[in-house]
A and B are shown apart, each in its own frame.
Chain A
Amino acid sequence: MAVESLDPRNGPVLEPGHSYGSLSDKLTNVVLTRRTPMAWFVAAAIGFLGLMLFLYSVTMLLVYGIGIWGVNVPVAWGFDIVNFVWWIGIGHAGTLISAVLLLTRQKWRTSINRFAEAMTLFAVVCAGMYPILHLGRPWLFYWLFPYPYTLGAWPQFNSPLVWDVFAISTYALTSLLFWYTGLIPDLANMRDRAQNRFAKIAYGIFALGWRGSARHWARYETAYLLLAGLATPLVVSVHSVVSLDFAAGVVPGWQVTVFPPYFVAGAIFSGFAMVLTLAIPIRALYRLQDLITMRHLEMMAKVMLATGLIVSFGYMLEAFYSIYSADTYEVFLTQNRAFGPYAWSYWALWACNALSIQLLWFRRIRTSIPALFILSIIVNIGMWLERFVIIVTALHRDFLPSAWGMYVPTVWDWGTYIGTMGLFLFLMFLFVRFVPLIAIAEMQVLLKEETHGPGHGHQDTEHGHGRGDGHAAAGMPGSTNITGATH
């Protein structure tokens, strides 16, 4: 409330004219009755093609081994880890939107949290694949987990790589729980609205028999709030642990104490960019402009600007401290980044992540949908470049010039990368097709708050009662459906 009253120019978080029923219908109809738009089939088909490319690339990897990738000493971490960090960072905005903004009572989160959480989940799926695939023998990935096996060895818990296993699996499971818990009431709504018998049964099973009981809601609200409270430090810890994969190493350019906060800010930055990239076409496709309003897009643009500035500050610190350290290798690293063979990636990174977002200071840019869409894609590219710069430029020329080398990704690196984008897109569009993409019950709470207090959307029902309610409600046990029609 306070946020709106500060600036009257801010648009609403929910356009007027909705009742509880119309809100629910609008969102369930996207899945249940509305004809699937042609664009959905096109996008899902593109995603599916990407998924097939992923299948092909992974099959090749499993058959021929990791040698088909461009990674080799000295650059043993290439696209696999670049993409891993990129995807996991994208996921973070979803958790941030659903958890941190819930705790800080930012109600503009409500209409975007569901699909931002889905985005998190699918981004973690994509991310989690890379560390497993780059193991060399991916089918033995379970050796990473501490279980007693015949070799008699255990994971080494002083290593950030083992922390990473725990952080990523915890993150994936918690995100799934959070997302599913949020879905339960809406799945019950789908169950009650579905006409198709199979859909009714399927939604019914996943809704777990939710019946909206007041006691259930009370426990549900506590559990959901606590999950949000748990997810908030989790999201910070996950990307911090990811950054420790680098920071705990001795490679110049990796051993940087600023990494954890700077990685977390970068993750949020890229995640919000991805939410914008997805939200803009989806709201147009399903005509959800009254639910995902200009206000949402503008708020996300502001978060992007803020986190983008933190990230830019991180770049400056990185460069400053490496020169200030007067350490030969650190100074060389910065020179090599700026003027070496990969200088293009370093300057492109500055252009994408630091320069382009300065446009977001202007309200006209923040409220222009094409500009936001283009900027969000530029930031996605920029954040990918950031990881490329961190990993490749640090590794390819470290201590001994005799051990220097170059990294050139092969067609299989690209195939795997584009493949995971296809997987992500495909999962995202399946989600939009089968699950309400905006949290209905939460939107109803928002509607209640927007219409001030616990008043009902349609006040006209009040008139029907008054004194005459004696016979209006004089329902015999059998004759109950009187008002069913009027509704």
Chain B
Amino acid sequence: MLKRRKTGDAQPTADAKSKGGGLFKRGGSQTKPTGQPQLYGVVAEFDNEEDLVKAAHHAYEAGYRRMDAFTPYPIEEVSEAIGFHHNRVALIVLIGGLTGVIAGFLLQYYIMVIDYPLNFNGRAPFAWPAFVPVMFETTILGSAFAAVLGMLALNGLPLLYHPVMKTPGFERVTRDGYFFAIEAADPAFDSAKVRQFFQEQRARNIAEVNV
């Protein structure tokens, strides 16, 4: 994240940094940091997918990086627009599959060759072609678990509560709502500016959401 922020278009980021960098707790009516609920960010709802995708592109161009979209179904353009191009799920699955195949082989090798060799008509105990079906199954098993558990772990799930869920009307996100959040943790974050930005993007509901 840090690296990308620096390499992104520097101008708006630097601009916002000088102004808003130290102010990111400004969201509430008071500036007192202690005892006050901390701001998570500003969340906006969009009417349709096109507006959301456009807003996501513009947000990225405006230099925001700590942001996320929330949609009822996968929209590839949005994750691309917010600068999320690669994920490591495939790598984890590869590791899971390799673990599976090696474990499957070692298990059978240990049992059939080292610990409990059986003599079938003088055939060699190390009959590797017979190991293949089980190795195949353990590969699939390892990869499948890696895919699901890896995806959930990278997503930080299960996480039954998240601040964005406090956004009014957020229950629509699983039906037909398109939400976009710019987080207070973004160095370019400035609540008033972000709200202004969302208005320009034809957002429907704009809300500040506390942690």
Q: What is the bound-complex CA distance between A193 and B168, given in angstroms? A: 15
Closest to B164 in A: A211
Q: Are B155 and A213 in contact, CB atoms less than 8 angstroms apart?
A: yes
Give every chain B residue within 8 A of A480 (Cβ-Cβ): 167-169, 205-207
Q: What is the bound-complex CA distance between A188 and B50, given in angstroms? A: 23
Q: Which of B3-11, B13-21, B127-135 contacts A (4 or more CB under 8 A)?
A: B127-135
Give every chain A residue within 8 A of B112 (Cβ-Cβ): 154, 156-158
B68 contacts the other chain (CB 8 A): yes
Closest to A186 in B: B174
A455 contacts the other chain (CB 8 A): yes
Q: What is the bound-complex CA distance between A272 and B198, given in angstroms? A: 49
Q: What is the bound-complex CA distance between A180 and B158, given in angstroms? A: 14
Q: Are A233 and B140 in contact, CB atoms less than 8 angstroms apart?
A: yes
Q: Are A146 and B111 in contact, CB atoms less than 8 angstroms apart?
A: yes
Give every chain A residue within 8 A of B69 (Cβ-Cβ): 213-214
Q: Are B70 and A154 in contact, CB atoms less than 8 angstroms apart?
A: no
Q: Among the listed B45, B130, B169, which residue makes an inter-chain contact with A158, where contact means beta carbons less than 8 Å apart? A: B130
Q: Are A220 and B175 in contact, CB atoms less than 8 angstroms apart?
A: no
Q: What is the bound-complex CA distance between A474 and B47, given in angstroms? A: 15
Q: Are A211 and B70 in contact, CB atoms less than 8 angstroms apart?
A: yes
Give every chain A residue within 8 A of B90 (Cβ-Cβ): 222, 226
Give every chain B residue within 8 A of A230 (Cβ-Cβ): 140, 143-144, 147
Give every chain A residue within 8 A of B134 (Cβ-Cβ): 157, 162-163, 166
Q: Are A216 and B145 in contact, CB atoms less than 8 angstroms apart?
A: no
B38 contacts the other chain (CB 8 A): no
Q: Among the listed B71, B74, B160, B173, which residue makes an inter-chain contact with A205, where contact means beta carbons less than 8 Å apart? A: B160
Q: Are A481 and B205 in contact, CB atoms less than 8 angstroms apart?
A: yes
Assuming A154-B115, A454-B77, A456-B48, is B89 touching A226 (CB within 8 A)? yes
Give every chain B residue within 8 A of A214 (Cβ-Cβ): 56, 68-71, 75, 78-79, 82, 84
Closest to A185 in B: B174
Q: Convert A114-137 into 0s and 1s, putting 1 for each residue whose CB lies closer than 8 angstroms to a CB of B.
A: 000000000000000000000000
Q: Convert A19-44 into 0s and 1s, putting 1 for each residue whose CB lies closer than 8 angstroms to a CB of B.
A: 11100110000000000000000000
A-B contacts counted at CB < 8 A amount to 247
Give every chain A residue within 8 A of B176 (Cβ-Cβ): 19-21, 24, 444, 487
Q: Are B49 and A456 in contact, CB atoms less than 8 angstroms apart?
A: yes
A370 contacts the other chain (CB 8 A): no
Q: Which of A61-69, A169-177, A309-317 contacts B (4 or more CB under 8 A)?
A: A169-177
Q: What is the bound-complex CA distance between A441 and B168, given in angstroms? A: 22
Q: Are A217 and B79 in contact, CB atoms less than 8 angstroms apart?
A: yes
A255 contacts the other chain (CB 8 A): no
Of the candidates A160, A185, A226, the one having the most CB atoms from chain B within 10 angstroms of its own CB is A226
B102 contacts the other chain (CB 8 A): no
Q: What is the bound-complex CA distance between A241 and B69, given in angstroms? A: 45
Q: Which of A290-298, A411-419, A424-432, A465-473 contacts B (4 or more CB under 8 A)?
A: A465-473
Q: Are B73 and A442 in contact, CB atoms less than 8 angstroms apart?
A: yes
Q: Are B50 and A456 in contact, CB atoms less than 8 angstroms apart?
A: yes
Q: Convert B58-85 into 0s and 1s, putting 1 for each residue whose CB lies closer than 8 angstroms to a CB of A.
A: 0000000000111111111111001010
Q: What is the bound-complex CA distance between A215 and B203, given in angstroms? A: 21
A477 contacts the other chain (CB 8 A): yes
Q: Convert A209-235 into 0s and 1s, putting 1 for each residue whose CB lies closer than 8 angstroms to a CB of B.
A: 111111111111111001100110110
Q: Are A455 and B50 in contact, CB atoms less than 8 angstroms apart?
A: yes
Q: Among the listed B89, B115, B141, B206, which residue makes an inter-chain contact with A219, where contact means beta carbons less than 8 Å apart? A: B89
Assuming A177-B144, A215-B68, A480-B206, is B198 touching A473 (CB within 8 A)? yes
Q: Are B74 and A220 in contact, CB atoms less than 8 angstroms apart?
A: yes
Give every chain B residue within 8 A of A219 (Cβ-Cβ): 87, 89, 151, 154-155
A484 contacts the other chain (CB 8 A): yes
Give every chain A residue within 8 A of B173 (Cβ-Cβ): 192, 211-212
CB distance from B154 to the nearest CB of A (A): 5
Q: Are A157 and B108 in contact, CB atoms less than 8 angstroms apart?
A: yes
Closest to B130 in A: A158
Q: What is the bound-complex CA distance between A20 and B151, given in angstroms? A: 26
B199 contacts the other chain (CB 8 A): yes
B157 contacts the other chain (CB 8 A): yes
Give every chain A residue within 8 A of B68 (Cβ-Cβ): 213-215
Q: Are A153 and B116 in contact, CB atoms less than 8 angstroms apart?
A: yes
Give every chain B residue within 8 A of A470 (Cβ-Cβ): 199
Closest to A166 in B: B137
CB distance from B184 to the nearest CB of A (A): 13
Q: Among the listed A155, A454, A473, which residue makes an inter-chain contact with B75, where contact means beta carbons less than 8 Å apart? A: A454
A461 contacts the other chain (CB 8 A): yes
CB distance from B106 to the nearest CB of A (A): 11
Q: What is the bound-complex CA distance between A117 and B10, given in angstroms? A: 49
- Inter-chain pairs besides A157-B111, A448-B73, 4 sampled, C-beta below 8 Å: A189-B175, A193-B175, A217-B74, A217-B79
Ranked nearest first, the 5 interchain pairs of A and B with the lowest CB-CB distance are A456-B48, A223-B151, A208-B158, A189-B174, A192-B171
- A: residues with CB less than 8 A from B are 19-21, 24-25, 146, 152-158, 160, 162-163, 166-167, 170, 173-174, 177-178, 180-181, 185, 188-189, 191-193, 204-205, 208-223, 226-227, 230-231, 233-234, 237, 241, 244, 441-442, 444-445, 448, 454-456, 461, 465, 469-470, 472-475, 477, 480-484, 487
A-B contact pairs, 7 of them (CB 8 A): A156-B112, A189-B174, A214-B79, A217-B71, A226-B143, A469-B202, A482-B205
